[in-house]
Structure 1
């Protein structure tokens, strides 16, 4: 199997989860060592570690440094909310994906962004405003701030061609995230960008990701009226 054909951590996670759901490994059972699973699935050990960490965070398995990994006897039931790639979301519903960079600039973040990422003092970040379109109609507007300390490589990415959402999901795995949902009324600028009436109700998804204790990005995504979000447990 070539490097490009190797399983990603999400596929490895889903495979291990399927083993548990099928009864191959029951409550309290010890799972094989990460290295053995990597050998069975022909992937890197680090990929298995990332997959196991996700299962541990979801309350499916219990990992101990010397005790190995076991299926939890009392699995924690939580809703899961993967960070989506907007292009895949649109195309998965049969739409034709489009993208437009509205603006980007290096700047010191305002107070709400500092609060979101947990910084006491401002550090220079990259602000990116962009539109995601479905069949040439605005689908989602995002106002994103990216840490140049954890993601300095973003400065070499042509964000007029590749959107930051995709690049970050594919290149900057996170260890934790926070998400908030709330509604706003479209102000004049948002109404023009999203091609809706001024004052139209809009769903806002505000999400921040970290690697360890260092923020990667915080983004405020404003969805077109009628947008639906599905979460599964």
Structure 2
């Protein structure tokens, strides 16, 4: 197998998870060593370790130093949600993706943004407001704040053609992510952006990411009426 065709950590995670679901490894069973799995799948040991960590974070296996990895006898069911790239999400649903940058400005972050990022001192951040489209119609309105101290290179990115969602997912991997889901009533400005009726119930995904203790970004993604979110465990 060439380096280009080697499995990703997600592929390895899914193969191990499938083996558990099929009964090949039952509750309490000890899994092969990371190095043995890497040899079997012809991938790097670090790839297996990343996959095992994901399974551990999902409550499917438990890892102990010098004790190996075992299938949890009482698996914790947790939904897993990778940060989506909105363009791919639209295209996977069969839509034609479009994007409009509404505003890009450096400003002192309001208290709510600082709190979301767990910051206590005033901070100038980059605010990016953008509209994602599907087949020419509003899909998601994104109100995002980006920490310039953590992501100074965002200043050189042309956000009129490259959306911040996709650029950050591809270029700024995170070590921690906080997610909140809730509904809001559309005010006049958001209703106009999303082609919705004022007062309509809209689904909001609020997400904040960090590299260690350094915040990367916090974003409120407000979806058009009828939006559905699917997670898999």
**TM-score normalised by L of structure 2:** 0.88
SS in structure 1 at match of 2:206: strand
Please list the CA deviations of residues 150-171 of structure 1 after superposition, one character each: whole Å capped at 9, or x if unmatched: 3333333322222221222233
Please list the CA deviations of residues 175-232 of structure 1 after superposition, one character each: whole Å capped at 9, or x if unmatched: 3322222222222322232222333322211111233333222110010011112234
SS in structure 1 at match of 2:197: coil
Question: Is 1:224 the equivalent of 2:224?
Answer: yes
Per-residue deviation, 1:3: 4.6
Q: Which residue does the alignment assign to 2:129?
A: 129
Tell me how far apart the structure 2 counterparts of residues 232 and 180 of structure 1 sit (CA, whole Å).
Answer: 17
- Go from structure 1 to structure 2 and tell me whether the alpha carbon gap of 1:225 and 1:104 turns closer, same or farther (over 3 Å shift): same
Equivalence map 1:198-209=2 (5 Å): 198-209=198-209
Please list the CA deviations of residues 33-70 of structure 1 after superposition, one character each: whole Å capped at 9, or x if unmatched: 33333333333333322222211111111112322222
Tell me how far apart the structure 1 counterparts of residues 102 and 6 of structure 2 sit (CA, whole Å).
Answer: 36
- Go from structure 1 to structure 2 and tell me whether the alpha carbon gap of 1:155 and 1:69 turns closer, same or farther (over 3 Å shift): farther
SS in structure 1 at match of 2:83: coil
Equivalence map 1:27-42=2 (5 Å): 27-42=27-42
Question: Is 1:151 the equivalent of 2:168?
Answer: no
**TM-score normalised by L of structure 1:** 0.88
SS in structure 1 at match of 2:208: strand
Q: Which residue does the alignment assign to 1:9?
A: 9
Please list the CA deviations of residues 105-126 of structure 1 after superposition, one character each: whole Å capped at 9, or x if unmatched: 2333111111111111133322
Q: Which residue does the alignment assign to 2:18?
A: 18
- Go from structure 1 to structure 2 and tell me whether the alpha carbon gap of 1:198 and 1:179 turns closer, same or farther (over 3 Å shift): same
- Go from structure 1 to structure 2 and tell me whether the alpha carbon gap of 1:108 and 1:141 turns closer, same or farther (over 3 Å shift): same
- Go from structure 1 to structure 2 and tell me whether the alpha carbon gap of 1:134 and 1:193 turns closer, same or farther (over 3 Å shift): same
Q: Which residue does the alignment assign to 2:183?
A: 183
- Go from structure 1 to structure 2 and tell me whether the alpha carbon gap of 1:63 and 1:215 turns closer, same or farther (over 3 Å shift): farther
Tell me how far apart the structure 1 counterparts of residues 71 and 149 of structure 2 sit (CA, whole Å).
Answer: 36
Tell me how far apart the structure 2 counterparts of residues 138 and 22 of structure 1 sit (CA, whole Å).
Answer: 41
Tell me how far apart the structure 2 counterparts of residues 212 and 111 of structure 1 sit (CA, whole Å).
Answer: 21
Structure 1: gaps spanning 5 or more residues: none
Tell me how far apart the structure 1 counterparts of residues 11 and 119 of structure 2 sit (CA, whole Å).
Answer: 34
Tell me how far apart the structure 2 counterparts of residues 4 and 161 of structure 1 sit (CA, whole Å).
Answer: 29
Q: Which residue does the alignment assign to 1:77?
A: 77
Equivalence map 1:48-67=2 (5 Å): 48-67=48-67
Tell me how far apart the structure 2 counterparts of residues 39 and 7 of structure 1 sit (CA, whole Å).
Answer: 12
Per-residue deviation, 1:136: 0.4
Per-residue deviation, 1:4: 4.3
Q: Which residue does the alignment assign to 2:196?
A: 196
Structure 2: gaps spanning 5 or more residues: none
SS in structure 2 at match of 1:66: coil
